[in-house]
Amino acid sequence: MPSYNAKSEVVGRFFGRGTDGKEFRGDLYVWVRLLLPGVVKRIYNLQSKQLCKVFARIFGCHEEDLLEDLEAGDVAETVATFFDKSSKVEESAKSSLTIHQVKNEKTPPKPYYHRLKKISIF
């Protein structure tokens, strides 16, 4: 879609009539957070090197290896690379965490919360 107005029209139609053409049945708050990420000013204070340290513990590999890989790209690519190589963490066939659970600060991802809390450096 080339123009701003055309995109705005599509988004407006989606929120006005939904996917079935009758009504929008989603969570508008979640959509706004996804479409306008700068609106919510949550600060995580995690630097790339800190993330490498945490994920090295999770994946059972050397932190130096992640940091070396990080020099060639960004932290998301580094984590993805070492996730694929890791034998300690199994890939889930289907996500078990929803956007609604993520937005609800009182509902941490239960299966991993205690593990992440143990290795947290904060």
User: How sure is the predictor about 90, in pLDDT bands with cuts at 50, 70 and 90?
Assistant: confident
Q: In angstroms, what CA-CA distances link 19 with 56, 86, 94?
A: 42, 39, 23
Cα–Cα dist 52/72, whole Å: 14
Percent of the chain whose pLDDT exceeds 70: 71
Q: What is the pLDDT of residues 39-61, one digit of tens each?
A: 766 666 678 888 899 899 989 99
pLDDT value, residue 65? 94
DSSP letter (8 states) at residue 93? S
Tokens of 20: 């079935």
